[in-house]
């Protein structure tokens, strides 16, 4: 029943008697009348007996509703003065919340960093979720180890050793809600150990540098050349307690760290006691040869390996992992444990996904798909008419993005022209450390993983249109 009863001059809009019944309906209606000001502060309410008679309901129901609202502070009940509306100004309705309008979604999105979300293996994931949740002991659903579920840490240790040459003990793995959370934890631990300065690459994600800065660490860019990041420069860098690198596939330039540079960074770490943070964000996606094994295998006591499901599955999972030197485990778990943990259901599901082989199958099919994308990008650039300037494309041996070199001075205008045409893309300059020593290069960082299949051809055409 929906009804509106005029009672002592006040309309009570009683909602249909649902699960809550009459008492609940009356409580809600009275609360609403007070809240909106229809019952003014100080107003004396009819006695429960007379309101009950008016409404044709039991007196107890009214008395209970009054009691509820007194307990909540909307009404007051004083000996001798009856039940009144609490004598406080009615709170104004909250001001409209700041609406964060999602920016108009671009027609085509070639920004790097996101895999093809349309290819998320929904059916296989749900199958794994069912198996994992069915098998999980009840206590797995409680507050847990800050390092993450043991099932997942065991599955990761096995997978990372097999696929990436990582030397991992499940006891030294820390599951976290994305790479940035891992970096935040490491930043806090480094800072607590007295580190004030960390070396980074000349090109990288500004958001990652900000995580480090927020942790109280000053970032210092290492030089970059055709052999990738020059880690030999670490030796001349006084007081850097750590270095953040993307050895398998420099982000965003796309080259692997040269073997001499790999050796140099491990030597530096051993000599100075420094720590190497290895960001292996897309190590699984290498097309023309075997993946380059993780740097961590060279010295698990000095290298922290960081991996993520954000590129291989989906960023929305919020699952990443660190393989820590044993000496860092307790400190990192303490920083993480105090506040932030990851949902266990997704952890258990990913463990099942890894051990059942579904992860390998998914990565293999994704690798094929991304390789085809890359090949068609290269072909599209090759097919441009001979009269336009040639565009050099680099960083294509692996990953989900490529770097397109542009004529000097043209990057900004190309990015702008693309935006006007509804094509979202990033210029290389947005990845450059503000104190990088090399001359700025004009280039585009083209993510070919993101567009859904049906939009890929159109995205490619739009890209070719805006190139000089």
DSSP annotation string for 301-348: TTEEEEEESTTTT-GGG--EEEE--GGGHHHHHHHHHTT----HHHHH
Q: Note whether 281 and 246 are within 8 A (CB).
A: yes
Cα–Cα distance, 167 to 267 (Å, whole number): 18
Instruction: Examine residue 435 and tell whether it contacts its own copies (CB under 8 A).
Output: no
CB within 8 A of 79, min separation 6: which ones? Answer: none
Quote the CA–CA distance of 189 and 100 in Å, as a whole number. Answer: 34
Question: Within 351-370, which residues bind its own copies (CB under 8 A)?
Answer: 360
Pick the closer one to its own copies by CB: 180 or 417: 180
Tell me the two tokens of residue 106. Answer: 């671009």
Of 23-31, 45-53, 275-283, 366-374: span binding its own copies (CB under 8 A): 23-31
List strand residue ranges (DSSP E) for 332-412, in order: 393-394, 401-405
Q: Which is nearer to its own copies, 292 or 466 (CB)?
A: 292
Identify the residue among 9, 16, 94, 409 touching its own copies (CB under 8 A). 94
Task: Select the residue interacting with its own copies from 46, 221, 241, 256 (CB under 8 A).
Answer: 256
Binding mask 369-398 for its own copies (x = CB under 8 A): ------------------------------
Q: Does 114 bind its own copies (CB under 8 A)?
A: yes
CB 383 to its own copies: min, Å? 29
Rounded to an integer, what distance in angstroms lies between the CA atom of residue 376 and that of residue 353?
Answer: 31
Distances, alpha carbon 29 to alpha carbons 9, 55, 57, 365, in Å = 14, 13, 15, 58
Nearer of residues 456 and 466 to its own copies, judged by Cβ: 456
With respect to its own copies, which residue has the nearer C-beta, 23 or 220?
A: 23
If one asks whether residue 2 binds its own copies (CB under 8 A), the answer comes out as no
Residues 466, 444: Cα–Cα separation, whole Å: 11
Query: Which of 140, 441 has the CB closer to its own copies?
Result: 140
Site for its own copies in 308-347 (CB under 8 A): 314-319, 325-327, 329-330, 338-346
How far apart are CB 379 and its own copies at their closest, in Å?
26
Residue the block writes with tokens 């860092």:
328
Identified binder of its own copies from the candidate list 40, 117, 390, 437, rule CB under 8 A: 117
Whether residue 252 is preceded by a cis peptide bond, meaning omega within 30 degrees of 0, is yes
Based on the shown chain and the rule CB under 8 A, indicate whether residue 454 belongs to the binding site for its own copies.
no
What long-range pairs does 17-23 form, CB within 8 A, spacing at least 24? 22/57, 22/61, 23/61, 23/64, 23/65, 23/68
SS3 label, residue 59: helix
Part of the chain binding its own copies (CB under 8 A), chosen from 64-72, 220-228, 231-239, 426-434 = 64-72
Binding part of the chain for its own copies, among 121-129, 190-198, 230-238, 372-380 by CB under 8 A, reads: 121-129
Does 139 help bind its own copies (rule: CB under 8 A)?
Answer: yes
Looking up tokens 């097999």, which residue turns up? 162
181 is an interface residue for its own copies by CB under 8 A: yes
Q: State the nearest-atom distance from the C-beta of 236 to its own copies, in Å.
A: 21
Q: Does 38 help bind its own copies (rule: CB under 8 A)? A: no
* CB-nearer residue toward its own copies: 6 or 95: 95
């Amino acid at each position: 029943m929906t009804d509106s009863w005029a009672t002592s001059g006040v309309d009570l809009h009683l909602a249909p008697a649902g699960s809550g019944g009459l008492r609940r309906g009356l409580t809600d209606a009275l609360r609403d009348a007070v809240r909106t000001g229809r019952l003014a502060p100080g107003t004396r309410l009819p006695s429960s007996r007379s309101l009950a008679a008016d409404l044709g309901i039991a007196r107890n129901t009214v008395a209970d509703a009054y009691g509820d609202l007194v307990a909540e502070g909307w009404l007051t009940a004083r000996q001798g003065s009856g039940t009144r509306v609490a004598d406080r100004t009615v709170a104004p309705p909250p001001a409209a919340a700041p609406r964060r309008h999602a920016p108009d979604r671009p027609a085509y999105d070639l920004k790097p960093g996101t895999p093809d979300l349309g290819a998320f293996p929904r059916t296989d994931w749900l199958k794994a979720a069912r198996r994992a949740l069915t098998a999980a002991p009840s206590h797995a659903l409680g507050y847990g180890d800050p390092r993450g579920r043991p099932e997942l840490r065991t599955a990761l240790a096995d997978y990372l050793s097999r696929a990436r040459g990582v030397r991992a003990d499940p006891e030294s793995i820390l599951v976290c809600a994305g790479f940035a959370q891992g970096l935040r934890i490491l930043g806090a631990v480094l800072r607590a150990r007295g580190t004030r300065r960390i070396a980074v690459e000349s090109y990288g994600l500004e958001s990652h540098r900000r995580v480090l800065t927020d942790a109280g660490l000053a970032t210092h860019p290492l030089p970059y050349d055709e052999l990738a990041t020059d880690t030999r420069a670490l030796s001349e860098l006084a007081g850097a307690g750590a270095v953040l690198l993307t050895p398998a596939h420099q982000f965003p330039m796309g080259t692997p760290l040269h073997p001499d540079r790999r050796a140099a960074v491990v030597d530096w770490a051993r000599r100075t006691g420094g720590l190497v943070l290895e960001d292996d964000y897309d190590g699984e996606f290498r097309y023309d040869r075997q993946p380059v094994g993780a740097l961590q295998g060279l010295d698990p006591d000095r290298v922290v390996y960081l991996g993520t499901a954000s590129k291989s599955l989906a960023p929305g999972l919020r699952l990443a992992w660190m393989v820590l030197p044993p000496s860092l485990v307790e400190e990192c778990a303490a920083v993480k444990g105090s506040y932030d943990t990851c949902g266990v259901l997704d952890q258990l599901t990913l463990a099942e996904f890894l051990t059942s082989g579904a992860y390998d199958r998914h990565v293999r099919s994704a690798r094929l798909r991304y390789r085809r994308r890359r090949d068609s990008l290269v072909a599209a650039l090759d097919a441009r008419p001979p009269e336009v300037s040639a565009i050099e494309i680099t960083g294509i041996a692996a990953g989900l993005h490529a770097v397109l070199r542009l004529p000097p001075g043209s990057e900004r205008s190309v990015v702008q022209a693309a935006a006007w045409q509804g094509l979202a893309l990033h210029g290389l300059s947005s990845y450059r450390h503000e104190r990088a020593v090399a001359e700025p290069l004009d280039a585009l960082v083209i993510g070919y993983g993101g567009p859904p299949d049906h939009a890929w051809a159109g995205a490619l055409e739009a890209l070719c249109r805006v190139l000089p």
